[in-house]
Structure 1
């Protein structure tokens, strides 16, 4: 017996694509659990970025106090923005893993629809975290270019 998915939905359900997705998608409790190893590696990378930025801020602080360099000022502004991105990456990742854990609990207690929906939200938060990571990476590249331009200006 096959079901025609559009016939299962009422016209009100057409406004909720997540509902249609939850009917078409059947996940088990192990599906969200698959994300835990990936998320732990992701947080390790995020923590390393944060520690590297903290070290760089201390260096720039000392340089700025000694020289009052405009390049150091540009770097400080860049570092401030990078910290915001790293915090956003971590917060979005934490919310993603909380939703993932909640999805496992909901599926365990037989609330498949809510579990699917929550798992979908966890994926959205993790993707947003990764997008913030890309933004921070691009900003990091700009900061390196500032340093390279300063080195070129002093070598000429």
Structure 2
């Protein structure tokens, strides 16, 4: 099962605009191209930092490229950066959205995004029904009267 982070847009009620679901799982494209994946998802500072971490050691180690230790160090660094961005990149994007005013509304476990959307909609409907205010005058409770401390019985 995949956990989906459900983010609602800033401003207005939660039902005004559609929520954004972000799957908390690894991304293969982010593993093979971490800097470009971050830049594509508008994580500019992190993307530039990863790009520098990938290219600067390669340029600096170009003189000792015949050494197997330098080649191994470059490979380990690229694999580590790829794993980091692949596994934590979606959470980084979600954190950037939350910093921009989006709200983390729910975390929904589901095997696919369509079922996650349906589960979130069902949870929203259930929470709206549970938090619906009781009508004064007893329209919903058989004509019970209400005072400061709660219902006073049925008349």
1 or 2, which has the higher helix percentage?
Answer: 1
**TM-score relative to the length of structure 2:** 0.29
- Structure number with bigger Rg: 2
